[in-house]
Chains A and B, each alone.
Chain A
Amino acid sequence: MKKLFRYCLFVASLILIWECLARSGMYPEYLFPSTGKIFYTFIQDSSEILLRARYSLTLIFLGLGSAVVGAVILAGASISSKMVSEAVTTLMAIMHPLPGIALFPIALLWFGIGNKPIVIIIAFSALWPLIANIYNGLRSVPVTQLEAGKILGLSGSRLIFSVMIPAALPNIITGLRVGWARAWQALVAAEMVFGASGGEGGLGWLLYKRRFMMQTPGVFAGLLIIIIIGIIMENAILATVENQTIRKWKTTID
């Protein structure tokens, strides 16, 4: 409760600072709108904002979901075979530094216009940090727990799913956090640089349109929803997952 209070206090002071800057007259209003204006636009625009948010979230979950499945398979294969591990490590060294957006033109050429290239770029952007973290987690499972699992008759994928993944959960959650952030970056960047393919688009497309029409409050309203979704993901979903797992088992120090 105290934590929630501090949290609200912090957010309130950020809003206050913003409002002071907006009212100080240092910046023209059409570039630096007041918080009231932003909230007003947010409410007025809410039906479109929510529509775009739903659209974006669908793409994110499609992309992130396939990245998670791919990362678990690749990290699992890497831990089981030295050859796969070397291949994946090399691939990671090449691909990880590559911004997903840089591959978007290729994805457009290969997969055509539509949602497909966006989902693929999201999956690509989230895949590498996910693999890196999951693989690291699987590698650092305590040897005794691993051997206890073997003694109890587990091997292969059963050992990975029953012992290694629960033991690697702190790293896996970190991977999800980074993957989630990368997925958003990829989505918004793709839509902002290349516009929406077809008449429909997500939040990146919304920002693009509002900027194009010089509706600065609308741009900030779009950013606000991205921030709110991020806060919900972090404080409601990931925090709950952590409380139900690694914090409950005390396999993490915080």
Chain B
Amino acid sequence: MDILLEIKNLSKIYKTPKKDIVALNDINLQVKEKEFVTVIGPSGCGKSTFLRCIAGLEKPSKGEIRINGTCVKYPGRDRMMVFQGLDQLFPWLTVLDNITYPLKLAKRGKNKAERKEIANYFLKLVSLEGAGHLYPYQLSGGMKQRVAIARALSVCPKVLLMDEPFGSLDALTRDNLQKHLIKIWKETGVTIIFVTHNIEEAVILSTRIAVFSTGVIKEIIENHLIWPRIPENPSFVAQWEKVYSLLQDKIEKKEITNPLISERKVNLAF
């Protein structure tokens, strides 16, 4: 398959009055079409910065990002981002208009009726048919994130960038949305880069896992477990352990306690 996204020698240095923070240090990554890459790493290792550079929200200090061979510098509708926060929808537009508005910007659909039809298709994709007339404040957190996903997909981006989109949701909703996302990914074939700090989520969703460690990609793990992925399966557990040990390495070296350790206990208790 063709290389869709190519990241070459990407570095990002934040200049602050006191000192410069190296958030990304010479990152290289190639993503093929229809891949689902999860990015995992400890807090502050540069995952969000990485996504924001691809989205065009941050300017790389060094290196370049290419999509189908062309260098990208600004935000564009070929890369859509779903944020962690629950306030990314426009509160002054209904759910339906939150989707038809980007469609209008992207010049998809000939007229209002056609755009409405497209929007409804994507609402159905995230199982929110019939919620089109609601305003964002009338939605639950999980519904908001699903609308955000529908909005992002509606303009047919080449890459869907997701920065801990399920991070502020409860475990059950999160579970549900993961299943949804896998279904959507299979149906639309969109390429996804998904940031998380939950190992289970990283293993459940992706075809590849990029393990980050302060500004660099420590390792990329191929993840070709069969679907549906069940966390109790031995192969799943093995994959989980692999990611975990890579993350733990880092923790022991720095000798700090990381919430990931307690997270593991919780996960094992399940």
Interface size on B, residues (CB 8 A): 25
Q: Would you call B55 and A151 a contact (CB within 8 A)?
A: yes
* Inter-subunit contact B92/A166 (CB<8 Å): yes
CB contact list, B83-102 vs A, under 8 A: 83, 85, 87-92, 101-102
A101 to B75, CA, bound (A): 48
What are the residues of chain B within 8 A of A145 when measuring CB–CB? 87-88, 90
Q: Within A163-178, which residues are at the interface with B (CB < 8 Å)? A: 163, 166-167, 169
A152 touches B155 (CB 8 A): yes
Is the CB–CB distance between A148 and B92 below 8 Å?
A: no
- Tell which of A147, A148, A152, A248 touches B77, judged by Cβ atoms closer than 8 Å: A152
Say whether A212 faces chain B, with CB atoms less than 8 Å apart: no
| Contact indicator B57/A249 (Cβ below 8 Å) | no
A152 neighbours in B (Cβ, 8 Å): 77, 101-102, 105, 155
Is there an interface contact between B90 and A250, defined as CB atoms closer than 8 Å? Answer: no
Cβ of A54 within 8 Å of any chain B Cβ, yes or no, is no
Complex interface: chain B residues within 8 A of A142 (CB): 85, 87
Chain B residues positioned under 8 Å from A163 (CB to CB): 90
Supposing A147-B57, A152-B105, A154-B105 touch, asked if A166 and B90 sit within 8 A by C-beta, the answer is yes
Question: How many A residues have CB within 8 A of the partner chain?
Answer: 20
Flag if B137 contacts A151 (CB, 8 Å).
no
Report A-chain residues with C-beta under 8 Å of the C-beta of B87.
142, 144-145
Does A245 sit within 8 A of B, measured CB to CB?
Answer: yes
CA distance A51 to B184 in the complex (A): 66
Chain A window 235-254, contacts with chain B (Cβ cutoff 8 Å), 1 for yes, 0 for no: 00000000001001111000
Chain A contacts for B77, CB-based, 8 A: 151-153
Please indicate the chain A residues that have their CB under 8 angstroms from the CB of B85 in the complex. Answer: 142, 144
Chain B residues lying within 8 Å of A169, measured Cβ to Cβ, are: 92
Contact B105 A249, beta carbon cutoff 8 Å: no
The majority secondary structure among interface residues of chain A is helix
| Chain B residues within 8 Å of A147, by CB | 57, 81, 83, 88
Please report the C-alpha to C-alpha distance between residue A162 and residue B77 in the assembled complex, in whole angstroms. 17
CB distance from B190 to the nearest CB of A (A): 15
Chain A residue contacts of B57, Cβ below 8 A: 147, 150-151
Question: Would you call B76 an interface residue if the criterion is a C-beta within 8 Å of the partner chain's C-beta atoms?
Answer: yes
**Chain A's nearest CB lies how many Å from the CB of B23?**
17
A162 to B102, CA, bound (A): 11
Q: Does B29 contact A (CB under 8 A)?
A: no
Bound state CA distance, A144 and B88, in angstroms? Answer: 5
Are A150 and B75 in touch, CB under 8 angstroms? Answer: yes
Q: Are B92 and A245 in contact (CB under 8 A)?
A: yes
Q: Is B71 an interface residue (CB 8 A)?
A: no
Distance (Å) between the CB of A166 and the closest chain B CB?
4
Chain B residue nearest in CB terms to A148:
B88
A147, A167, A245 — which one has the most chain B CB atoms within 10 A of its CB?
A147
Most chain-A Cβ atoms within 10 A of its Cβ — which of B89, B102, B155?
Answer: B102
* Least CB separation from A251: chain B residue: B91
A214-254 at interface with B (beta carbon < 8 Å): 245, 248-251
Q: Is B106 at the interface (CB under 8 A from chain A)? A: yes
Check B39 for interface membership: any CB of A closer than 8 A: no
In the complex, 28 of the A-B residue pairs with CB atoms within 8 angstroms, ordered by the A residue number, are: A142-B85, A142-B87, A145-B87, A147-B83, A148-B83, A148-B90, A150-B56, A150-B57, A150-B75, A151-B55, A151-B75, A151-B81, A152-B77, A152-B101, A152-B105, A152-B155, A153-B106, A162-B101, A166-B92, A167-B90, A169-B92, A248-B135, A249-B92, A249-B136, A249-B137, A250-B91, A250-B135, A251-B91
A residues near B, CB below 8 A? Answer: 142, 144-145, 147-148, 150-154, 162-163, 166-167, 169, 245, 248-251
Known A148-B88, A153-B76, A153-B105; further 11 A-B contacts with Cβ < 8 A: A144-B88, A147-B57, A147-B83, A148-B89, A151-B55, A151-B77, A162-B101, A249-B91, A250-B91, A250-B135, A251-B92
